[in-house]
Amino acid sequence: MIDLLSGLDAWVLISLFFALAFVLAFEFINGFHDTANAVATVIYTKAMPPHLAVFFSGVFNFLGVLLGGVGVAYAIVHLLPVELLVNVNTGHGLAMVFSLLAAAITWNLGTWYFGIPASSSHTLIGSILGVGLANALISGIPVSDGVNWQKAIDIGASLVFSPMAGFLVAGLVLIALKRWRPASKMHKTPEQRRKLDDKKHPPFWNRLVLVISAMAVSFVHGSNDGQKGIGLIMLVLIGIVPSAFVLDLNSTTYQIERTRDATLHLSQFYQRNNASLTEFLALGKSVKGDLPDQFSCNPQQTEPTIEALLGSLKGVADYHSIPAEKRIEIRRYLLCLDDTAKKVSKLPVLDSREKADLEKLRKDLTATTEYAPFWVILAVALALGLGTMVGWKRVVKTIGEKIGKQGMTYAQGMAAQITTAFAIGMANIFSLPVSTTHILSSGVAGTMVANKSGLQGGTIKTILMAWVLTLPATIALSATLFWLASKALA
């Protein structure tokens, strides 16, 4: 890392340091903001002592980040339109990162202070959308092009439907547990257990399931939410020090060859589907080598872009061997070809087999651009893990006692946690960011309804209000901050 940053101007290094500190601060706050959601049930049901639950939750969050990959990280990054990602300069990159992080941190701290189980995922996504929309207005481009709306719709759908699924599935799991063993002690609340059985802790097997499912929630939370921090740091590094991070400089010769082969095979794919894609891609109509001076991602320029990329990669065995400007150029070509391929894959003219082939080509095409250095993953893992070990008290009581009109039973805690771990695990497989907060809160609410305990209207209204207001509030805040920063830089 030191070698990559050597030779930078002092102000760039200082800016980079503060930008990275902001990202890690966001992850630290994300840790204690969301910790209560992972440990609320085991603490409330007294399955684990608070200090032990929080410590192990931090450990499993740390492991989740280390082992979670980068799929969700780049799902977040690609909320921004490809033009903003390929044409960003240092000043613009700083304004973008500081604006969205300041908005996200402000909202996270505010909701945490008032003990509201709000979503860090909603917060971050709203902040990114605000920057994208503000950039469109400032640059004079159509608002429809200011954000990658298809990616935003996909992520929005996951954020909307995952709490609904959590509510329904957790309720069904509780009903199944009640039918399986209606007289079991797992259907008691901690207070009933203490009064009737004179025991402090849950029955052994219930306690074991509560502990294991809580650690599973912590692990998948780390692997999902931790990747958001990884994506932010990569935005910072690419925006401020593009020459060192636009491509994975540790790529092997084989990986570079795979990228080159994927580019060649992409060209062959388009030629094979020439009859159905000619109009969309202007196949055979664009002039060889004719790329505009102001580079933009245009499907009609696909053939010249492929030709330019193949020329840039010809004979390259190590990315260190090519000049910094050439690396930036290669990344632009790769991102644009991937963006166009993604649009092509949505066209109804291709059959499912061809779309599957295109997906494989896209993975090879972006193998050396969608990456994260190990030190980035480790830094985010430490920030999230350490943040997890503080600040849990404010939300635990809300989850355990204020959602339903009665306290949570052991069975309800198990149903909500198992559902949350499974839902986030599935989201990780499909590289979709989801909200641990909303899935778990909805799961608890679902079990309260299934248990005929009733819901506390005031708490539900507060959670729903935070859910509804988070996106518009963070969009407005980050857009305003970005507009002010851009004016200051102008």
Confidence (pLDDT) at 123: 84
- CA-closest candidate to residue 229, choices 391, 464, 422, 62: 62
Angle ∠(463,464,466) on CA atoms, nearest 5: 65
User: What does the alpha-carbon distance between residue 126 and residue 114 come to, in Å, rounded to a whole number?
Assistant: 20
DSSP string, 260-280: HHHHHHHHHHHHHTHHHHHHH
Predicted structure pTM score: 0.83
Higher pLDDT, 376 or 69: 376
Please state whether 452 falls in left (phi above 0), alpha (psi between -120 and 50) or beta: left
Mean pLDDT, the chain, rounded, equals 83
Across the range 411-439, mean pLDDT stands at 88
**pLDDT digit string (tens) for 83-142?**
677 765 666 767 887 888 889 888 888 877 776 666 777 888 888 889 888 888 887 777
The dihedral built from the CA positions of residue 369, 375, 381 and 384, taken in this order, carries a sign that is: negative
User: What does the alpha-carbon distance between residue 485 and residue 481 come to, in Å, rounded to a whole number?
Assistant: 6
Across the range 452-481, mean pLDDT stands at 79
Q: Packing angle between helix 352-365 and helix 253-272, nearest 10 degrees?
A: 150
Residues 6+ apart with CB under 8 A from 401: 44, 407, 408
User: What does the alpha-carbon distance between residue 363 and residue 355 come to, in Å, rounded to a whole number?
Assistant: 13
Confidence (pLDDT) at 287: 55
